[in-house]
Amino acid sequence: MRLRSFFLLLCAAAAPSWAQLSPPNDAGVAMGHLHLSVRDTDAQKAFWTALGGVPVTNGRLQLIQFPGTFVMLRKGEPTGGTEGSVINHIGFKVKSLRDIQAKAMAAGAKTAPGSNAAQMWVYAPDDVKLEMTEDTTLTVPIASHHIHYNVPVPLEMQAWYAKTFGAIPGKRGNFDAADLPAINLSFSKSAATLPGTALAGTKGRSLDHIGFEVTHLEAFLKKLESAGVKIDMPYRQLPDSTTAIAFLTDPWGTYIELTENLAPAR
């Protein structure tokens, strides 16, 4: 298991052949994409490409490619940013904080110091909050790292992602966490524990949903349904495409797209 995890980490931070997502875990799941609802698609595209994202296509799908994940954009009127929702922010590892800060500021984004010299905050258009953590050993300028949730019951959420997607439970620093290939899921306890004070779900926010890539998606969905997981949108093949999708919502309001064959063919 340790050798397999090490191999997956290498793939997540590996070199310029970004077109393929990381190999899946034993449950057939890996990180897939971040899907944003945005007011100005050109401004968002300029921001993400300034950070180092590479625009690619898979049939009709327009993707911005990073090691370990894709960013997808859809024009809309988001009801709010990431803060105030169940997903507080998205984390990336970067080779140089100074370089990323310069690129973000040149694209018109706000930045703020982090809690230590190796960490900073970047605010993308539509108030998408990003955490940048410097790792000078990276072989690429930037790579997918973590999704940070705020929930009343971190350990319950950790257990749900472990059971549902095969995420490996553990810790990331002081945070309860669970690992999938190319992404760490970190869980913080929120103060929103009283009735009527729960944090907003992601659907309709600027980070509308997250996506996991799944091997043999149709069979995977049948297993989820037999385990009592409600599927919001059943399996379907996209027109004129080899890509298949489905949607579900976790018990805390995270809207999740499951895809198969999202990455462009080599």
What are the mean pLDDT values of the chain's consecutive 10-residue runs (266 residues total)? Answer: 38 43 97 98 97 95 96 97 96 98 95 94 97 97 97 95 98 97 95 62 97 98 98 96 96 97 90
Task: Report the alpha-carbon angle 129-185-167, nearest 5.
Answer: 155
CA distance to 101, 125, 237, per residue, from 120 (Å): 8, 17, 40
pLDDT at residue 191, as a whole number:
66
Helix (H) or strand (E) holding 119: strand 119-124
pLDDT at residue 3, as a whole number:
35
Helix (H) or strand (E) holding 145: strand 142-151
Rounded to whole angstroms, the Cα distance separating 26 from 76 reads 36
Phi, psi (deg, nearest 5) at residue 104? -65, -45
Rounded to whole angstroms, the Cα distance separating 35 from 208 reads 6
Report the chain's C-alpha Rg in angstroms. 17
pLDDT at residue 190, as a whole number:
83
The answer for residues whose C-beta is within 8 angstroms of residue 228's C-beta and 6 or more apart is none
Q: Is the distance from CB of 91 to CB of 102 less than 8 angstroms? A: no
Topology (CATH) of 2-260: 2,3-Dihydroxybiphenyl 1,2-Dioxygenase; domain 1 (3.10.180)
Phi, psi (deg, nearest 5) at residue 99? -65, -45
Three-state SS at 109: coil
Q: Is the distance from CB of 203 to CB of 255 less than 8 angstroms? A: yes
pLDDT at residue 196, as a whole number:
52
pLDDT at residue 261, as a whole number:
97
Helix (H) or strand (E) holding 45: helix 41-50
Cβ atoms within 10 Å of 113's Cβ, excluding its own: 11
Three-state SS at 170: strand
Rounded to whole angstroms, the Cα distance separating 258 from 262 reads 10
Task: Report the alpha-carbon angle 73-256-52, nearest 5.
Answer: 40
Sorted by where each begins, the domain ranges of the chain are 2-260
